[in-house]
Amino acid sequence: MDDKKLLFRIRNLKKYFPLKKRNPFQREVFNVRANENINLDIYEGETIGIVGESGCGKSTLGRTLLQLYKPTEGTVEYFGDPSTGGEPIQLQTLSVDEMRKYRRDMQLIFQDPYSSLNPRMTVGQIITEGLKAHKMLDTDPKKNQEYILSVMEQCGLAPYFVHRYPHQFSGGQRQRIGIARSVALNPKFIVADEPVSALDVSIQSQIINLLLDLKRDHGLTYMFISHDLSVIKYISDRVGVMYLGVIVELANTADLYASPIHPYTEALLSAIPTTDVDHKRELRILEGDIPSPINPPPGCKFHTRCKYATQICMEVEPEFIEHRPGHFAACHHPLKKREHALF
């Protein structure tokens, strides 16, 4: 990664959601600790996959990184503004107005594009609206039309779709519209939050391949969020595994899948049926409930479910350190390198 250019540097990022007080006499404010001390570098041109069970804080990380949620603590430095001479922009310090300048650079693609597509607008209007909001429209309407049709073509949408409404499309095509709307803004970075989870398996690979083509053609960087380990393996250059608001392991994809260091990653990978291709690979695999993010366990947050846990795991939070080159994990008892691949 040495020759790669940093795009984001995330340090000690926290996002807590305060819970409403149950009664007016309640003194203590309880928080949902959705993200705890996230440290992550994102490099230009890579796809960083984020995987973990439901509720572990994946979407919160994507949204806090994009400043759609205000971080509770920590920093998100952005290195993608060429006008600063290499100095990072401290995104967490920007006002909503100041952030507007960078919104165009950083897009979010959702799981359910339908809810984010205005049902009363045609595809052409939907894409135009984004361009207008970012002052990207040309004074010549013909040029705008040509641009919109070229983006639609890149996203696999036929030109005659331009006058159609979202309800006239299938789920996969709607996702293409959502992607076209984002890509039209010529962003640098896209957070794709479960973009294929609601789609049939046959359509999933088409959308993933579209994202990969767009990444190649536009030099994009992705954060790809999914609970599906196969999808994450296919699309990601590096993978971060999250558990209860924390990134517990981070490595390049091949290393992580072949030889995980963290027991949670090992458990995720080993519980997956690799022979039954039709089996839905959901991440509901471990014994025991996930503890509450309102009152997470002390020490290592995974100790209540970990088969390797010892006394220190219950008392001391393990540091997130580099165990092998480029392979980070937070565990007191890191797993040894494997002879045979797990996944």
The residue ranges that bind ligand SF4 (CB under 6 A) are: 262-263, 300, 302-303, 306, 308-309, 313, 318, 331-333
Count CA atoms within 13 Å of residue 173 on its CB side. Answer: 13
Binding track over 302-321 against Mg ion, x by CB under 5 A = --------------------
d(CA 170, CA 172): 6
**Per rule CB under 6 A, is residue 240 in the interface with ligand ATP?**
no
Q: Which is nearer to ligand SF4, 133 or 312 (CB)?
A: 312
Q: Which is nearer to ligand ATP, 31 or 145 (CB)?
A: 31
Binding track over 23-52 against ligand ATP, x by CB under 6 A = ---------x-x-----------------x
Beta bridge partners of 327: 324
Please give the full DSSP string across 245-272, using - where no structure is assigned. TEEEEEEEHHHHHHS-SSHHHHHHHHTS
**Per rule CB under 6 A, is residue 297 in the interface with ligand ATP?**
no
293 binds, among ligand SF4, ligand ATP, Mg ion, none (CB under 5 to 8 A by kind): ligand ATP
Q: Which is nearer to Mg ion, 62 or 318 (CB)?
A: 62
d(CA 333, CA 261): 9
**Per rule CB under 5 A, is residue 59 in the interface with Mg ion?**
yes
**Per rule CB under 6 A, is residue 59 in the interface with ligand ATP?**
yes
276-295 residues near ligand ATP, rule: CB under 6 A: 293
Distances (CA, A) of 312 to 290, 309, 317, 332, 333: 20, 8, 8, 8, 10
Residue at 118: amino acid letter: N
Among positions 38, 42, 58, 233, the unique one binding ligand ATP when judged by CB under 6 A: 58
Among positions 13, 42, 49, 57, the unique one binding ligand ATP when judged by CB under 6 A: 57
**Per rule CB under 6 A, is residue 54 in the interface with ligand ATP?**
yes
Residue 70 Cβ vs ligand SF4, minimum distance, rounded to whole Å: 30
d(CA 285, CA 62): 24
Entry field: residues in the chain: 343
Task: Tell me which residue has tokens 């088409």.
Answer: 206
End-to-end CA distance of the chain: 24
Across 21-149, the runs of DSSP E, i.e. the strands, are: 31-43, 47-51, 73-78, 89-90, 106-109
Q: Which is nearer to Mg ion, 51 or 157 (CB)?
A: 51
Residue 259 is encoded by which pair of tokens? 């030889």
Residue 318 Cβ vs ligand SF4, minimum distance, rounded to whole Å: 5
d(CA 102, CA 3): 25
Residue 60 Cβ vs ligand ATP, minimum distance, rounded to whole Å: 3
227 binds, among Mg ion, ligand SF4, ligand ATP, none (CB under 5 to 8 A by kind): ligand ATP
Bridging pattern class, strands 31-43 and 6-18: antiparallel
Residue 292 Cβ vs ligand SF4, minimum distance, rounded to whole Å: 17
**Per rule CB under 6 A, is residue 68 in the interface with ligand ATP?**
no
- DSSP SS3 for 183: helix
130 binds, among Mg ion, ligand SF4, ligand ATP, none (CB under 5 to 8 A by kind): none
**Per rule CB under 5 A, is residue 111 in the interface with Mg ion?**
no
Q: Which is nearer to ligand SF4, 17 or 308 (CB)?
A: 308
Q: Which is nearer to ligand SF4, 198 or 286 (CB)?
A: 286
Assign 3-state DSSP to the chain and report helix, strand, coil percentages, each to 5.
Answer: 35, 20, 45
d(CA 189, CA 187): 6
Residue 282 is encoded by which pair of tokens? 């959901």
Site for ligand ATP, rule CB under 6 A: 17, 32, 34, 52, 54-60, 227, 293
Site for Mg ion, rule CB under 5 A: 59
